């Protein structure tokens, strides 16, 4: 499923109309009809339905939906919010088709002020006020009507986008419809994955309105939602005639005297995720504590000073080219030793290298050197870490998660996993895959370490790096979803629970 900006949707729309020759009125009929079918499945014939229609093409969809529901025998009131003279183009065409079908609408602009509230007898509101064409905060009379919708106890079904929510941004200026359900036309817009706009959508589902695939090829949004089906399809099987070496020899480097839990979580997660052989590299002073908690790993002691890896690490032969994959960072600390160590990894690892947490932090101090790597480099920052790397604020990173990730990955030739609700995986070529699993239980120390372990394991077993990364992100979120749905609460989940939940998660997604 492709994810688009409002402008990209508009270009796809125009290409369909101008180059392919599908008339706008026909497109609107398909869109409205597809949405109407979904709406009729989600309400009861006894419901009183109010359909609120705005001035643009979203309103045009509303006329099609109203006609379909009335033809099917539903009890529907239709309110046109702007004066009729403001309706133009394809929307006007469908206004006329609606009228010629024998139906009528109420003219909101002629209502007395006490008639403008959403009536108490409505059970369902269909919001076709504004779509992707909204600019800035809502003007009157939309502002007042949206306030009234949000104060009502109706089930609110938005079409395409909750009215007032911008297509491309997470911030919502002023009022916007808080939908119970949004039926998105064809492709989700960026705001479905950006906070706080995502909350306004309620539950959402895409409806196929039949936009031709050629129009997508012409516009190339190159942004996708990574689905459960894609996880199952791309996940490598474990074959009968294989041995531990078939699933990768990985190195996980992390830990320091005050952070022994991070490498334990990452290492156990890597092992639970299928790694064949794992070596865990830990500064000497922390080694015994870590080793006592991970029975299945071998260990590589790193020279240490004051509990953290020391600069001496730069002079040692660690045979780093012998590993199929290396991940470093969890709990390492941020001293000079970590900087020297990360530089050494960048120079000597001849396979995928995953840098997380403290390893990311020191990257900024390495100047331009790290951009020259010939092997895949995978960075897994949360917004604060990407802010540190880019010199932006975390709020700015969050505001433009898609575009900042894309330019950063392209500029540095790396894979970037920007964590957070709706984690985004970006390839060096700029293709983006957004994730939709996970919940606030993951907002807790250690869950990132678990993800790093999964990523290390998956980059060694998958043939395509992007698939490995997207699968790790999806299953990590899914494990948290299963915990919250079945056994725990968002408050109580700890990172170790996520590791414990991996076996059941893999079973349910990969083997069912």
Please name the residue that has the structure tokens 């817009």: 189
DSSP helix/strand/coil, 253: strand
Q: Which tokens sit at 283?
A: 């500064």
Strand order from edge to edge, sheet including 155-159: 106-107, 75-80, 48-53, 124-128, 155-159, 181-185, 203-207
**Minimum distance, C-beta of residue 161 to ligand NPW, in the bound complex (Å):** 6
Q: Which does 139 bind (CB under 5 to 8 A by kind): K ion, ligand NPW, none?
A: ligand NPW
Nearest alpha carbon to residue 330 among 456, 480, 428, 498: 456
Structure tokens at 52: 């609120």
Query: How many residues touch ligand NPW (CB under 6 A)?
Result: 31
Annotated binding residue at 358? no
279 is in an annotated binding site: no
How far apart CA 96 and CA 226 sit, in angstroms, is 41
- Rule CB under 6 A: say whether 61 interacts with ligand NPW: yes
Return the bridge partners of 87, or none.
none
CB of 457 within 8 A of CB of 270? yes
Query: How distant, in Å, are the alpha carbons of 232, 417, 499 from that of 468?
Result: 12, 12, 17
Q: How far apart are CA 202 and CA 158, in angstroms?
A: 9
* 60 annotated ligand-binding residue: yes
Residue 185: contacted member of K ion, ligand NPW, none (CB under 5 to 8 Å, by partner type): ligand NPW
Interaction between residue 39 and ligand NPW (CB under 6 A): no
57 contacts K ion (rule: CB under 5 A): no
- Spatial neighbors of 141 by CB under 8 A, at least 6 apart, are 81, 108, 109, 116
Say which DSSP state 379 is in.
Answer: E
Under the binding rule (CB under 6 A), the answer on residue 138 touching ligand NPW is: yes
Binding partner of 179, given K ion, ligand NPW, none, CB within 5-8 angstroms per partner class: none
Is 160 annotated in a binding site? The answer is yes
175 binds ligand NPW (CB under 6 A): no
* Closest-CA residue to 171 (of 199, 204, 203): 199
CB of 206 to ligand NPW, least distance (A): 12
Min separation Cβ 116 and K ion, Å = 19
**438 among the known binding-site residues?**
no
From residue 502, how far is each of 207, 295, 438, 472, 479 by CA, in Å? 32, 18, 13, 11, 6
Instruction: Candidates 112-120, 145-153, 154-162, 233-241: pick the segment binding ligand NPW (CB under 6 A).
Output: 154-162
Q: Select 86 or 373, whichever has its Cβ closest to K ion.
A: 86
Question: What is the 8-class DSSP label of residue 487?
Answer: I
**Token digits of residue 272:** 């639970």
Q: Which of residues 112-171 bind K ion (CB under 5 A)?
A: 127, 158, 163
CB of 426 to ligand NPW, least distance (A): 25
**Strands (DSSP E) found in 380-464:** 415-418, 424-426, 432-434
135 binds, among ligand NPW, K ion, none (CB under 5 to 8 A by kind): ligand NPW
Residue from 73, 136, 367, 391 touching ligand NPW (CB under 6 A): that is 136
Q: Minimal CA–CA distance to 16: which of 87, 90, 67?
A: 90
Instruction: Report if residue 93 touches ligand NPW, rule: CB under 6 A.
Output: no
| The only residue of 2, 3, 5, 9 in contact with ligand NPW, by rule CB under 6 A | 9
User: How far out from the chain centre does Cα 415 lie?
Assistant: 16
- Least distance in angstroms from the C-beta of 164 to ligand NPW: 7
Is residue 136 a known part of a binding site?
A: yes
Verify binding: residue 56, ligand NPW, rule CB under 6 A.
yes
The yes or no reply on residue 184 touching ligand NPW (CB under 6 A) is no
Instruction: Consult the annotation and say whether 430 binds a ligand.
Output: no
Residues that bind ligand NPW (CB under 6 A): 9, 13, 27-28, 31, 54-61, 86, 130-139, 142, 159-161, 185, 209, 211
Annotated binding site for (6S)-NADPHX: 57-61, 131-137, 142, 160, 262, 331, 382, 449
User: Where do contacts with K ion occur on this chain (CB under 5 A)?
Assistant: 58, 127, 158, 163
Show binding-site residues: 57-61, 127, 131-137, 142, 160, 163, 262, 331, 382, 419-423, 448-449
């Amino acid at each position: 499923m492709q994810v688009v900006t409002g402008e990209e949707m508009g270009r796809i729309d125009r290409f369909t109309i101008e180059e392919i020759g599908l008339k706008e009125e026909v497109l609107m009929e398909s869109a409205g009809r597809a949405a109407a079918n979904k709406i009729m499945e989600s309400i009861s014939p006894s419901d009183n339905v109010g359909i609120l229609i705005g001035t643009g093409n979203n309103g045009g969809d509303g006329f099609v939906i109203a006609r379909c529901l009335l033809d099917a025998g539903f009890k529907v009131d239709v309110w046109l919010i702007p004066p009729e003279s403001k309706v133009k183009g394809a929307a006007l065409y469908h206004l006329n088709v609606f009228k010629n079908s024998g139906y009528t609408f109420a003219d909101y602009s002629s209502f007395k002020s006490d008639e403008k509230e959403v009536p108490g007898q409505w059970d369902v509101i269909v919001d076709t006020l504004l779509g992707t064409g909204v600019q800035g905060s809502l003007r009157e009379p939309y502002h007042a009507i949206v306030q009234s919708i949000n104060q009502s106890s109706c089930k609110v079904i938005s079409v395409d986008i909750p009215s007032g929510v911008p297509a491309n941004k997470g911030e919502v200026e002023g009022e916007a419809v808080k939908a119970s359900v949004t039926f998105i036309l064809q492709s989700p817009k960026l705001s479905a994955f950006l906070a706080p706009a995502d909350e306004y959508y309620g539950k959402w589902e895409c409806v196929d309105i039949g936009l031709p695939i050629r129009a997508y090829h012409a516009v190339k949004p190159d942004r996708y939602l990574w689905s459960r089906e894609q996880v199952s399809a791309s996940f490598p099987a474990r074959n009968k005639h294989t041995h531990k070496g078939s699933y990768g020899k990985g190195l996980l480097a992390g830990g320091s005297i005050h952070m022994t839990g991070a490498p334990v979580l990452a290492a156990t997660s890597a092992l639970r995720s299928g790694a064949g052989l794992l070596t865990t590299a830990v500064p000497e002073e922390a080694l015994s504590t870590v080793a006592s908690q991970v029975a299945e790993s071998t260990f590589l002691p790193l020279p240490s000073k004051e509990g953290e890896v020391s600069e001496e690490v730069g002079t040692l032969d660690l045979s780093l080219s012998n590993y199929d994959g290396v991940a470093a960072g969890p709990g390492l600390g941020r001293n000079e030793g970590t900087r020297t160590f990360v530089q050494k990894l960048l120079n000597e690892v001849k396979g995928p290298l995953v840098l997380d947490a403290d390893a990311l932090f020191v990257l900024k101090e390495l100047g331009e050197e790290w951009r020259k790597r010939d092997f895949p480099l995978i960075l897994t920052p949360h917004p604060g870490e990407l802010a540190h790397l880019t010199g932006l604020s975390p709020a700015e990173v969050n505001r433009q998660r898609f575009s900042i990730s894309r330019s950063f990955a392209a500029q540095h030739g790396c894979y970037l996993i920007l964590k957070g609700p709706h984690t985004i995986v970006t390839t060096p070529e700029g293709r983006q895959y957004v994730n939709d699993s996970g919940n606030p239980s993951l907002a807790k120390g250690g869950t990132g370490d678990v993800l790093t372990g999964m990523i290390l394991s998956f980059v060694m077993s998958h043939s395509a790096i992007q698939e490995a990364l997207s699968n790790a992100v999806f299953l990590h979120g899914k494990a948290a979803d299963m915990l919250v749905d079945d056994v725990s609460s968002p408050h109580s989940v700890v990172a170790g629970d996520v590791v414990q939940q991996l076996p059941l998660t893999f079973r349910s997604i990969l083997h069912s």
